[in-house]
Amino acid sequence: MSIVNKLLHTRYRVNDLERTVRFYKEVLGLEEVRRHKSPRGSELVFLKTPQSDELIEITFFPGSGPVQVQADLTHLAFSVDNLEEFSRHLARQGLQFSDGPTTTSTGSTFAFIDAPEGYEIELIELPAAKTP
């Protein structure tokens, strides 16, 4: 029996490729790994976080019509060292959290921002490691 081995990338189709790529690079700090046009005409940009192997594929394919993201459909989750510091970074970009921050019973704190197409981005500050 064959099973999958590793998550390689997640794709999000968008209406405005450059605006969305700029958001992921400038607001979230992702790195552009590669960019190309597929045989069917899609424009593809692959991005990654500094500490992950998995990629995010941002795709523009005008032949399939406009993207309309419904609320609470899907989201990407990223860890951050400090949500309060990230909030100040957002404010300098003219942005703010769309929901949260909220602290869970386990001590994690999370908040959401919206990417340009309406895809949600969850930011999670994990609790500090407890020393015995």
Q: For 128, left (φ over 0), alpha (ψ -120 to 50), or beta?
A: beta
Separation CA 66–CA 83 (nearest Å): 33
Residues 52-89 pLDDT 10s: 989 999 999 988 888 888 888 889 999 999 999 999 99
The half-sphere exposure of 35 on its side-chain side, counting CA atoms within 13 A, is 9
Give the whole-number percent of the chain exceeding pLDDT 90. Answer: 71
* Single-letter residue type at 80: V
Instruction: Tell me what the mean pLDDT of segment 7-21 comes to.
Output: 93
Catalytic member of 26, 85, 117, 122: 122
Average pLDDT over residues 2-26: 91
Mean pLDDT across the chain: 90
Active site residue 122: yes
pLDDT tens-place string over residues 29-44: 999 999 999 998 899 9
Domains located in the chain, CATH noted: 7-61 (3.10.180.10), 74-132 (3.10.180.10)
Give per-residue burial for 83-115: e unless 16+ CB within 10 Å, then b: beebbeebeeeeeebeebbeeeeeeebbbbbbb
